[in-house]
Amino acid sequence: MSVLELTNTSRWYGNVVAVNDVSMQIGPGVTGLLGPNGAGKTTLIAMMAGFLAPSAGEVQLDGQPVWNNVSVYRAIGLVPEREASFGYLTGRQFVRANAELHKLSAPGEATERALGIVDLVEPAGRLISTYSKGMRQRVKLAAALVHDPGVLLLDEPFNGVDPRQRMHLMDLLTRMGAEGRTVLFSSHILEEVEQIARHIEVVVSGRHAASGDFGAIRRLMSDRPNVYLIRSSADRRLATVLMGAESVAGVQLDPRGGVVVQVTDFGEFARALPRQAKEHGITLREVTPTDESLESVFAYLVSA
Ligand SMILES: Nc1ncnc2c1ncn2[C@@H]1O[C@H](COP(=O)(O)OP(=O)(O)OP(=O)(O)O)[C@@H](O)[C@H]1O
């Protein structure tokens, strides 16, 4: 059982603070590292993998510092976001090269075992340059698994991968977690993280913004005030009606037409809106969220 522990970890590049005083513990099972682009996920993963020294604080695996510690590297497998520039190698050669880098006693066997796990035995003799995006992710995963590490770190593994291959990869990660490995993958998509992560860590602007199971994170995100634009057959009358609703914090008429409503309790609002519109003989034409971008959701989490 492997536990990664970050204690007041920071990393800066010149004046840019990429990771700011982050403390968290990652245990066995699948954890999702969720955050918008530029949040510091790649930097965090590089520090967890021992590829990058923290500027302050520490990253430990089972009580041992990760940085500059060869014995700890043996327990960690990393699937980087960047495409391996080894298109001229076959899948088998690429995985085998990693087995040899780890100085495994039976590199051939380890290579076949890892290719088997990711279901790439049959195309392993082909050049990586002929692989689909999903296959390239899987061959990187095989290379990261070749030394049978207890910890597996993956940076945006589902980016650009088609839905069928994504399911396949998700099943693989779920299996790795169920086997007792400590699996952490980064993503900027909540729905993706929810599907397989037992636990979610949220980072925004280099800071640790939230932590919990997907129910807790989902609640945090949906409890925030939401803004909707509503178009109806009688906007002014609708605005007056909504002013009295308990789930509404503010109402404004949009000069371009429609009513802009600030909602505090979405569930209650969703029940009240059609009922009240009907009571007052108003036809609803459109209800659109206006600030549903992930950036605004994350910004809310940070200020919470
Ligand atoms: N080598 C570097 N030199 C200078 N700044 C860097 C370097 N690497 C990352 N940064 C900056 O650090 C911040 C965090 O970057 P990082 O790549 O860790 O975020 P991320 O969450 O992985 O984002 P993305 O998903 O876009 O890769 C960004 O502002 C980025 O521009």
Asked whether 35 lines ligand 1 (CB < 6 A), one says: yes
pLDDT averaged per 10 residues, the chain (length 304): 94 94 96 91 96 96 93 92 83 96 95 94 94 91 95 93 88 94 92 88 89 79 75 94 89 92 83 92 87 58 54
What CATH number is attached to the domain comprising 68? 3.40.50.300
Closest C-alpha residue for ligand 1 atom 23: 38
Can you tell me which atom of ligand 1 is nearest the CA of 206? 14
Question: pTM of this prediction?
Answer: 0.78
**Best mutation site among 15, 20, 42, 156 for ligand 1 pocket (most ligand atoms within 8 Å of CB):** 42
Structural domain ending residue among the three candidates 194, 213, 232: 213
Question: What is the 103 CA–ligand 1 centroid distance (Å)?
Answer: 32
**Do residue 53 and residue 75 come from a single domain?**
yes
Residue range(s) defining the domain that contains residue 234: 223-303
The structural domain count of the chain equals: 2
Atom of ligand 1 nearest to the CA of 19: 14
CB 171 within 8 A of CB 141: no
Strand-pair category, 226-232 with 199-204: unpaired
Find the 239 Cα to ligand 1 centroid distance in Å.
44
163 CA to middle of ligand 1, Å? 27
Same domain, yes or no: 227 and 204: no
> Do 290 and 179 belong together in one domain?
no
Cα distance between residue 272 and residue 259, in whole Å: 16
Given 156, 183, 213, the domain boundary residue is 213
As a three-state string, the secondary structure of the chain is CCCEEEEEEEEEECCEEEEEEEEEEECCEEEEEECCCCCCHHHHHHHHCCCCCCCEEEEEECCEECCCCHHHHCCEEEECCCCCCCCCCEHHHHHHHHHHHCCCCCHHHHHHHHHHHCCCCHHHHCEHHHCCHHHHHHHHHHHHHCCCCCEEEECCCCCCCCHHHHHHHHHHHHHHHHCCCEEEEEECCHHHHHHHCCEEEEEECCEEEEEECHHHHHHHHHCCCEEEEEEECCHHHHHHHHHCCCCEEEEEECCCCCEEEEECCHHHHHHHHHHHHHHCCCCEEEEEECCCCHHHHHHHHHHC
In short, whether 40's Cβ falls inside 6 Å of ligand 1 is yes
Whether 41 is in the pocket of ligand 1, judged by its Cβ within 6 Å, is: yes
What pLDDT does 304 receive? 46
CATH code for the domain of 277: 3.30.70.100
